[in-house]
Amino acid sequence: MSDKLFVLIASLILVACTATASAGTLKDPLRPPLASPKSVAGERSAPSWKLASTLVAGDQRSAVINGRVLGLGDRVNGAEVVEIRPGAVRLRRSDKEFLVKLQRRGIRQETRP
Largest distance between two CA atoms of the chain = 84
* Angle ∠(27,32,36) on CA atoms, nearest 5: 110
User: Residue 89: is its pLDDT beyond 50?
Assistant: yes
Q: What mean pLDDT is reported for the chain?
A: 77
Using DSSP's 3-state secondary structure scheme, residue 5 falls into helix
User: How many angstroms separate the CA atoms of 72 and 54, rounded?
Assistant: 12
Domain edges within the chain: 51-101
Q: Does 57 have pLDDT greater than 70? A: yes
pLDDT, residue 33, reads 67
- Asked if 90 and 98 count as a contact pair (C-beta separation under 8 A), the reply is yes
- What does the pLDDT look like over 17-44, one tens digit per residue? 665 555 556 677 777 666 544 444 444 5
Quote the pTM value.
Answer: 0.53
